[in-house]
A and B are shown apart, each in its own frame.
Chain A
């Protein structure tokens, strides 16, 4: 026990002895402040659980998610062997939920990788360089913003072909403009500040200024925005699936499950409600996590 005590002291020291020590210490203090945020911890635990479920799906799912049993269709909650009941083809809803976690995480991860990074690039370059570059990049952004999101995504999917990857790509293509706007607005306030002038006086070029000085300040607001958008992204994927352009049946995608259950929503409410609750829980977890992350990513707020 004495050993861990000294490790803790080493991590919490006021006077780090090396760059690595200072970095580890900052990470540990960030973790401490994150841990003291109960809501953010709840979000993190839910998402870690989701990750675990997605990885271990074949081990924990009680049934094959594709196995149909028409004799036992639309079984209610709590039926023997089917805790969450069965859907219109007699497939076990719990197993489908568990396998669906993989698809949900896949969508979220891909969109979270593509859209904010594209938006960050466009926005910071437009904001920092200014002039003609700004005008051209922002008018392109305006064109994307002028279309209704789902309609534009529909057009993309129709052109690229139906499927979950193309749905993700289409959602990303329609999701980046708001990030570009946020990043540009932040860049405009940052670029005229004294600390940017100061690094210019050290001979730093635009690439270094954008990546090392402007990005770190834009990223926290983008992360918050991304986590808040996650719910919408999951639902947009579901909407595309509903229209037959996203996840294809029999894929156990949560949104597709809802649209399947929609037909029986009055008589067999659980078929649509259970995947709906899953989407709700995961979206909430992302929002809570985003709030907590913002707190630790901003050292001024964690004083």
Chain B
């Protein structure tokens, strides 16, 4: 049974002469519990796929099924309990005037939890931040700590599919490894499904089971991670990408 099934997905911005087709005829399936990567260079439309799934990019056609249910124009509240997203830039994804406690508390409140205090404490422990960070503001946190808060926020509604939009690209290398290990541990603990966007093939090789290579808004090839490690790509663009990453 697939967690996410995407078929013939087109996403565009603007209209008439200004129309830009960001994603064309994308098609892939992510199984339950799988970790699936989307790779490609900047502007290839990989983040746009995630934004279309979450409803942040409103102009799309094709079909998207989450856990067997087709998505329509508007996302019901239950959708956000199943699917959550971690943004690329931890410096931009936290409200500058809200403390960690406010960020997590409001998220839990919106999802209708009643034991908010206990859950905030547990979420902070789960992402490896102690209680002393609870009442800090984003400007008092490092990039890695901010990304942990963002991950805690995404985990708050107990989703089953987590969309990761280059979660480590804004962080330095040692912090990247910490965050990737945290994500791997959380997936193992909670049986999460990941859809991860990255331009870093080594990150995808470490985190994912399968990956799709995107170029100019189209998926050119879907590979196993073993094929990635063995450098066995069949499409010339993916070969080019693999060579460039060496």
Contacts and interface: CB of A to CB of B under 8 A. Distances in A.
Contact of B153 (A15, A198, A300): A198
B135 A194 contact: no
A19 B120 CA distance: 12
A193 interface: yes
A203 B56 contact: no
A280 interface: no
A195 interface: yes
Contacts of A213: 95
Contact of B96 (A202, A203, A299): A299
B136 to A, nearest CB: 9
Contacts of A19: 101, 135
Contact of B139 (A15, A16, A21, A303): A303
Q: Which of A14, A203, A216, A299 has the most CB of B within 10 A?
A: A203
B107 interface: yes
A201 interface: yes
A90 to B, nearest CB: 55
Given A14-B132, A15-B132, A299-B139, A199 B106 contact: yes
Contact of B95 (A15, A16, A22, A195): A195
Interface string A197-219: 11111111000000011001100
B96 to A, nearest CB: 6
B92 A194 contact: yes
Given A15-B131, A15-B132, A204-B110, A300 B96 contact: yes
B12 interface: no
A195 B135 contact: no
B46 to A, nearest CB: 16
Contacts of B94: 195, 198
B119 interface: no
Contact of A201 (B84, B92, B96, B131): B84
A198 B96 CA distance: 13
Q: Which of B95, B107, B110, B156 has the most CB of A within 10 A?
A: B95
Given A14-B132, A197-B87, A198-B87, A299 B137 contact: yes
Nearest to A302: B139
B132 A201 contact: no
A199 B85 CA distance: 11
A216 B97 contact: yes
A293 to B, nearest CB: 15
B54 interface: yes
Contacts of B95: 195, 199, 213
B89 interface: yes
A203 B153 CA distance: 13
B157 interface: yes
Nearest to A215: B97
A2 B117 CA distance: 33
Contacts of B134: 16, 22
Given A197-B56, A201-B85, A203-B77, A217 B139 contact: no
A4 B139 CA distance: 30
A217 B110 contact: no
Contacts of A198: 85, 87, 93-94, 150, 153
Interface string B80-92: 1000110111001
Contacts of A300: 96, 139
What 9 A-B pairs come out closest when comparing CB atoms? Answer: A22-B135, A194-B93, A15-B132, A194-B92, A195-B95, A194-B87, A202-B110, A16-B135, A216-B97
Interface of A: 14-16, 19, 21-22, 25, 193-195, 197-204, 212-213, 216-217, 299-300, 303
Interface of B: 54-56, 77, 80, 84-85, 87-89, 92-97, 99, 101, 106-107, 110-111, 131-132, 134-135, 137, 139-140, 150, 153, 156-157
13 contacts: A15-B131, A16-B134, A19-B135, A21-B135, A194-B87, A194-B89, A198-B153, A199-B95, A199-B106, A202-B106, A204-B106, A216-B97, A299-B97
